[in-house]
Amino acid sequence: MTVRKAVSTRTASTPRRAPVTPAPKNRVILRLYVAGTTPNSTRAILAARKLCQEHLDGLYRLEVIDIYQRPRLARDEQIVAVPTLVKRLPPPLRRLVGDLSVSERVLIGLDLRDTTKN
């Protein structure tokens, strides 16, 4: 009786792929574009984090992008002023430029009022 070894088609250079898990349907993906560590940028980051923690119930991903470190991304996204908060998901895409300190205005401007817990 001969025993055969299983032959793998994966080579050493073929990367292993992680299992794909679908994102929750009600997940919100936001990008905040800022310019360095200016006071306006710092305020915008704090306001965006507070808004997400208080109103989006853990179903969000907030990416903070410094346009000085990633100018190509800012150019590709056509960012002309900072701070700019972009809602990428769920559709439709929304952009909000400027002051993020009034949560209610930000939620309405990004069309997120219905997804909040309040």
The residue among 105 and 3 whose pLDDT is bigger is 105
Q: Which of 24, 21, 33, 29 is nearest to 89 (CA)?
A: 29
Q: What is the CA radius of gyration of the chain?
A: 20
Domains of the chain with bracketed CATH:
28-115 (3.40.30.10)
What distance in Å separates the CA atoms of residue 89 and residue 56, rounded to the nearest whole number? 13
pLDDT at 117: 52
Region 16-21 average pLDDT? 43
Q: With a threshold of 0.75, does the pTM exceed it?
A: no
Question: How does pLDDT run across 80-104, given as a tens digit for each residue?
Answer: 999 999 999 999 999 999 999 999 9
